[in-house]
Homo-oligomer: A and B are copies of this chain.
């Protein structure tokens, strides 16, 4: 089991070693190129950031970050953590789980097969269909979901976070498969809002631009019983924070969730922008970033950095 000693062992030198070792891996994999803004990112970028839960009083910034830790990237599907948090905050949890499942989904083929078979109820909130459904839930709650999301993430990150409108426009222009999923859920009556409006929310949430340092800091509440260490505010109930971690482990990294659990052993959520957030309950939150993706759509070097860091510091939840 991790202990404070373990956490102490995570210092700048360790992070730098992990990043350096991952350097050669940036030659492998493929940078997402379905929209220009992603395709333009240099494939040699590497970042690793670790946010401990205890504030460091001597420091305004609690996060250890190395490499390109202060370079912003498109968080893409990592945003699904935050919109789910918003949905759970609004006490829609009970109803939410009638409209979206909590089971793993498998690959994209399987995903649409199951969405049809299960009558428009997506398997979990971390596949695209599930996150679109969560966006529909937020839209149905009546206020401005993107405003609420930006506000929440900015507070958690301690910085002004914004939607990259160029990315959002590209997502909207190319998001045919997401439209297909949304209309399929609409045809079953599970998605109830106006589809293009719900998709706008979804495309914008995916287009948030953040640094690895900001993401590590912003996700500490998941490792900390729902409480943001910077402000002491209860973002979520302790139980709900742990539940999001459980969902991340089951379904946070596409069809590689089993391999992530087996190889790394902590809850993770990845995005096609190359970011991966990892949560070590009661210890730290982590963000690794490198743009090139492996065949499962997860950052190739980011996955290696997480595996190396967790292995060397003994952080597995198992």
Q: A60: which B residues are within 8 A, CB to CB?
A: none
A104 is contacted by which of B117, B179, B257 (Cβ under 8 Å)?
Answer: B257
How big is chain A's contact interface, by range? 35 or more
Q: A182: which B residues are within 8 A, CB to CB?
A: 180
Quick one: given A187-B177, A251-B258, are A110 and B103 in contact (CB under 8 Å)? Answer: no
Does A45 count as interface, using CB distance less than 8 angstroms? no
A123 to B257, CA, bound (A): 12
**Chain B residue nearest to A256 in the complex (CB):** B103
Q: A110: which B residues are within 8 A, CB to CB?
A: 106, 110, 113-114
A271 to B186, CA, bound (A): 23
Contact assessment for B106 and A114 in the assembled complex, using a CB-CB cutoff below 8 Å:
yes
**Chain B residue nearest to A1 in the complex (CB):** B282
A187 is contacted by which of B102, B180, B195, B257 (Cβ under 8 Å)?
Answer: B180
| Stretch binding the partner chain, chosen from A23-31, A148-156, A206-214, A261-269 | A261-269
Q: A275: which B residues are within 8 A, CB to CB?
A: none
A55 to B64, CA, bound (A): 40
Q: Mark A173-200, 1 if CB is under 8 A from B, else 0.
A: 0001101111110110000000100000
11 A-B contact pairs sorted by A residue (CB < 8 Å): A1-B283, A109-B116, A110-B114, A112-B184, A123-B258, A176-B184, A176-B187, A242-B318, A243-B262, A246-B318, A247-B258
Name the 7 nearest CB pairs between A and B, nearest first.
A104-B104, A176-B187, A180-B183, A103-B258, A177-B187, A245-B318, A180-B184
